[in-house]
Chains A and B, each alone.
Chain A
Amino acid sequence: MNRFAKSWMSAALCLAIGTAMLFGLPSVMDDYTLIQVTIYAVMSILGVSLGFIWGFGGILCFGQAAFFGLGSYTYAIAVMNMGDSTVPFALAILVPALFAAVIGYVIFYGRLSDVYMGVITLTVTLILFNLINSTAGPEWRIGSAPLGGFNGIPGIPTLNVPGRPDDVLSPKDLFDVTFVCLLMVYLGLRVLISSKIGRVIIAAKENEQRVLLLGYDARAYKLFCFTLGGAIAGLAGCLFANWGAFTSPTIFGLAQSAQIIIWVIVGGLGTLVGPIVGCALIQWLTTAIGTQQTFNSNLVLGAILLLFVLLVPRGIVPSLGSAGEWLLRKLRRPAAAISPAASTAALPPTEQAT
């Protein structure tokens, strides 16, 4: 599994499935379901951003929702002031990335350890939540965009074709854009991970001291990783603001951050597909819970997180991979056992042992 997971085969497989979904889903689904799938894809981008910085950079960020929220607010405020959505789209990625860079600078260049990292990211999320929450009332506005405090910003204009503010995207177009973004993010991160920079990032996660002694500035690599994660989360935030034409401070909340962590844990830490699988499963489950009254969604999410940490700490995708490999071996062994005499005769003794 391990070799397969790292090979280009698995990346190609995932991209093939993704592309098939991109072209196939709109023809088999009605608009309502398509809109549902769009939000799954938006959240998957967010999940992948944490899956990348946590699983590959070893940075457990409790505040990934901060970048997500910042992205959606940046887009909302910018697009309401500018009209055309091209620059706001770019800003929604740049502003969270810059913010992540500042936070990352404090953390990595202060050489703060895991726990402190958790506290700072959590704190920043809370600061943003408190600040935005307190901006109710007409005096709080940036340009022509009222911040709205706890009520959020409704009626955010949707993305338009670059340069033509009146040519806004339909729900189907938004699905395409979102899905293409998800696939691009996935492919981009796969390429990055197997590049030299990616290898240094992973090495710094495994043993920072050794990486430093080999002459790489681990802090800079971690900062880059964290900033990239912030940018991707910002992209997801921008798409989220587009999806519902609405954003509110709850997306900065602890519940949102907890959800992202649960997606990654459930799907599988150290993979890029895992967060997508986890996100889709949990989102689907949350929606399903919402339609019945017996169980509270917090209760179920908490139980899932607990059970996964205690019993399936590797998550679904790696566990499934191991199970698949085990099955393959089971299937191959009987085939090999058919002619034991021939194989023992053909192989030299040393190779038999392996």
Chain B
Amino acid sequence: MDLAVIVVIQVLYAVASLVIISAGLAVIFGMMKVINLAHGEFMMLGAYSVIGAIKLGINLWVAMLLVAPVAVGLIGVVLERLIIRRLYGRMVDTMLATWGLSLLLVGIVTSIAGNTTAGVSAPLGSFSVGAYSVSGYTLVIIAVAVVLALAIRWVLLRTPWGLIARGTMQKPDMANALGISPSRVYSVTFAVGAALSGLAGGLLAPLTGVVPTMGAAFVAKAFITVIGGGPAILAGLVGASALFGAINQLATFVTTPVFGEVALLVAAIVMLRLLPQGITGRFFKGSL
């Protein structure tokens, strides 16, 4: 019984962390069809901004939930103006440029912070379920993922900004004719995506070591989750995270973490062969 509870918590945690890792990429790719290969480095910047903020004496929670997204969001605005803007509609070029950007960011951060691992200790201690103990921070990650998914849904469906953003992505010229500046919408959307990546980096900082090259570990997983999800941003994100997260965690239980990762990646390849349009290309069509 205790074991079952632990397994459920761990699976939920795996799903939740996939949602958090992929949310920023899902917004940028789903809304703008821009593949941001610097996503992992945005997360890395988020993690470093948490470390910087803590050194300045800011509370850990404020640093994770506020400083990291705001800092990375601002960086996102600048990068969108300087680089991404020139490449809209050229998907492959965007991929290459953001890959260059990711190497550049790794290089810059390595030059500044050095190639050493910095760390933040996880807050909240742990509690026990029968003979096992669970970190309280695990539950925070699950809660944040749920709030995040609901918030994205609320913003896109229930607020005027969501309406404007969705409209602009569907028909930029029509939105323009109605007096909305698509370039500003793109800019804001990219910034929101970057901010979500920053938040993810901030939240994961206590769980993984913070190094300049940490982004590489996440970008592929996020990429796979988003592509596996298909055209519907939110349903795809949650659906693919649930599928891949569960497979990853269950395989990890049976074998080792390495084979858990491999199982996730193999599942992604098999799924893309069966459902080339992603999960929401076949199921939940027309959902958000």
Q: Could you tell me which A residues sit within 8 Å of B by CB distance?
A: 60, 106, 110-116, 118-120, 122-124, 126-127, 130-131, 133-134, 254, 258, 261-262, 265, 295-307, 309-310, 313
Contacts and interface: CB of A to CB of B under 8 A. Distances in A.
Task: Give the interface centre of A113, A115, A123 by most chain B CB atoms within 10 Å.
Answer: A123
B155 interface: no
A120 B227 CA distance: 10
A309 B93 contact: yes
17 contacts: A60-B92, A110-B276, A112-B276, A115-B35, A118-B35, A120-B272, A124-B269, A126-B261, A131-B262, A258-B99, A295-B111, A296-B111, A302-B100, A302-B107, A306-B97, A309-B87, A310-B87
A112 B272 contact: yes
Contacts of A309: 87, 93, 96-97, 100
Interface in B194-219: 216
A304 B91 CA distance: 19
B223 A122 contact: yes
A296 B110 CA distance: 8
B100 A303 contact: yes
B106 A302 contact: yes
Contacts of B111: 295-296, 299
Contacts of B103: 258, 298-299, 301-302, 305
A36 B271 CA distance: 44
Interface string B94-105: 011101111111
Contacts of A302: 100-107
B268 A119 contact: yes
B265 A123 contact: yes
Contact of B96 (A131, A261, A298, A300): A261
Interface class of chain A by DSSP: helix
B266 interface: yes
Contacts, number: 118
Contacts of B224: 119, 123
A298 B106 contact: yes
B144 interface: no
Given A118-B95, A254-B216, A131 B258 contact: yes
Given A299-B110, A309-B97, 20 more contacts: A60-B95, A110-B273, A113-B276, A115-B91, A115-B227, A116-B227, A118-B95, A119-B224, A119-B272, A127-B265, A130-B262, A131-B262, A261-B96, A262-B100, A296-B108, A298-B110, A299-B104, A302-B106, A309-B100, A313-B93
A267 B143 CA distance: 49
Given A119-B268, A126-B265, A305 B100 contact: yes
A310 B97 contact: yes
Chain B interface extent, by class: 35 or more
A229 B225 CA distance: 28
Interface in B245-278: 256, 258, 261-262, 265-266, 268-269, 272-273, 276
Contact of A303 (B93, B104, B258, B262): B104
A264 to B, nearest CB: 10
B220 interface: yes
Given A122-B220, A123-B268, A310-B86, A298 B104 contact: yes
A305 B97 contact: yes
B7 interface: no
Contacts of A115: 35, 91, 227
A122 B269 CA distance: 11
Given A111-B276, A130-B261, A254-B216, A120 B269 contact: yes
Contact of B258 (A110, A116, A130): A130
Interface in B36-64: none
Interface in B140-175: none
A307 B227 CA distance: 27
Contacts of A262: 100
A305 B99 contact: yes
B147 to A, nearest CB: 28
Contacts of B99: 258, 261, 305
A204 B99 CA distance: 27
A27 B265 CA distance: 50
A110 B262 contact: no
A150 to B, nearest CB: 12
Contacts of B86: 310
Given A133-B258, A134-B258, A119 B110 contact: no
Contacts of B227: 115-116, 119
B134 interface: no
B276 A306 contact: no
A117 to B, nearest CB: 10
Nearest to A304: B100
